[in-house]
Amino acid sequence: MGSERTVLVVDDEANLRKVLSAHLRREGFAVVTAANGLEALELMDHQPVDVVLTDLKMAPVDGLALLERVQARHPGRPVVMLTAHGTVDTAVNAMKKGAFDYLTKPFDKDELRMVINKAVAAAQLQWSEPAETDAGRFGMVGKSAALEDVFTTIDKVAASPSTVLITGESGTGKELIAGALHRTSPRRHQPFIKINCAAIPRDLIESELFGYERGAFTGAVSSKPGRFELADGGTLFLDEIGVVPLEMQVKLLRALQESEFERVGGVSTTRVDVRLVAATNVDLRAEVAAGRFREDLFYRLNVVSLVLPPLRDRPEDIPLLVDHFLEKYRKRLSKDVFGIDDAAMERLRSYRWPGNVRELENVMERSALFAEQGWITVDSLPNALRDEDDDLAAPPRREAPQPRREPTVGPLKAIVRQHTESLEKELISRALEETRGNVTKAARKLEISRKSLQNKMKEFGLREPATTDAGPFDSAG
């Protein structure tokens, strides 16, 4: 993991940059450095960075300003603050504004390793959710009835302090919904603190949630607030709640019921006002039945249940998502992709999408990259979608015939498309002639599936009526 992940170290002290870089490289991370915030932002515009480790006190752009700009220009990138003991309050404030964590100077190398590893793990899990966009309500693209039910529930419960449990398969956008519940609530100007429970080792989950006092365990060189404290007055989002160990579930239940807890190694009780949103991709009822999840905690979490539908249950949203992702990757790849043909769209609509919207986005990026002559065809799709016998093909759905999708194109693009179709027709006709009308052999010669060739023959009027004698274009092959 480390050798594939890059940490950007930002500090105006050259010696500290060298020391931090040396420690991180020994842990297997790639390291790049910047002497100030402006230099860091310029570097991030030209080089991929997984985690930012930055000092708080710098000029002309300090750590807080850098945090805000990273959040705006590189959303989802974890930022870890490095601060002196006298400015810990500022670092805690930075965490309330979205920083992932903080370290105090002089830093402890074990704590450095632990925090950066957590940041990398959290980043990997966070980026596995679909990226938030400006399209659609709450960043969710689609107009299906299933999605409208989700929007209606958000509208009804956002203003309440009630706990919400979001369930749905991986890749359906659970974090987007959690963010929407916070942004549309009276707490929207207060902290929105996120933690992915699956990214935290079992023996550290308590200190992550409730904080710890100095000396509570090896590496605890200073006291640190937990996520509940940081979320005071706002919203705490616990993703992958189903992996929380049983022994921790008791303490979590108490914190939810009583709104109070103690830090690890502490004796004083801390009270907070937190609205909790939890999410999981497992069946918690089944986990309760199996004895892996407390029944009382389940009912405390499941005050409001919000179920996100998998993409295979809302195929009518796929064309909207395709258009959205095509527009995104036209810009990102600097490639002029006019649209997607009907045969390819039908493959997308009939596929079961085990990875949901995340998988569709990956497919559209790959397909846009491999599109020939400006159009995504079946041949542009990954193998899993080109194979008609794939186990992930959805059962046929009875729906009204869909009109042919004709993207709006300018005169030049229309000419290009006409020329492309003429060339396709000529190549197909030639292949059929060379194989004496054997569709299977012609498809193999053209390196496309037999079904794709039949669709193209029908589109170009090349399929002849069936007769008692097999004609040159008879599909029997």
Between residues 33 and 4, which one has the greater pLDDT? 33
Tell me: pLDDT of 422 over 70: no
Average pLDDT of every residue of the chain:
82
pLDDT over 70, % of the chain: 84
Between residues 418 and 5, which one has the greater pLDDT? 5
Is-contact 464 473, C-beta < 8 A? yes
φ/ψ of residue 39, rounded to 5: -65, -40
Q: Which two tokens stand for residue 85?
A: 């003991």
Q: What is the mean pLDDT of residues 57-73?
A: 84
Neighbours of 45 (CB within 10 A): 9
Between residues 94 and 255, which one has the greater pLDDT? 255
pLDDT band for 33, please (50, 70, 90 cuts). very high
pTM above 0.75, yes or no: no
Looking at residue 60, what is its pLDDT? 80
Least confident of 122-131, 144-153, 302-311, 344-353: 122-131
Over residues 66-102, the pLDDT tens digits come to: 998 888 777 778 999 888 766 677 777 888 788 888 8
Q: Specify the DSSP element, H or E, that contains 51.
A: strand 51-55
Tell me: pLDDT of 353 over 90: yes
Number of C-alpha atoms within 13 angstroms, CB side, residue 410?
3
- In whole angstroms, what is the distance from residue 372 CA to residue 103 CA? 50
**Residues 6+ away with beta carbon under 8 Å from 123:** 50, 51, 76, 77, 78
Looking at residue 421, what is its pLDDT? 66
Looking at residue 86, what is its pLDDT? 60
Over residues 366-418, the pLDDT tens digits come to: 888 888 888 899 988 988 888 655 445 544 443 433 433 444 344 444 444 55
Is-contact 331 394, C-beta < 8 A? no
Domains, the chain, ranges and CATH?
A: 2-126 (3.40.50.2300), 137-309 (3.40.50.300), 310-407 (1.10.8.60), 409-477 (1.10.10)
Q: Convert 58-122 into a string of H (helix), E (strand) and C (coil).
A: CCCCCHHHHHHHHHHHCCCCCEEEEEEHHHHHHHHHHHHCCCCEEEEECCCHHHHHHHHHHHHHH
pLDDT band for 339, please (50, 70, 90 cuts). confident
Looking at residue 465, what is its pLDDT? 36
Which DSSP state fits 8? E
Q: What is the mean pLDDT of residues 292-298?
A: 95
Looking at residue 400, what is its pLDDT? 39
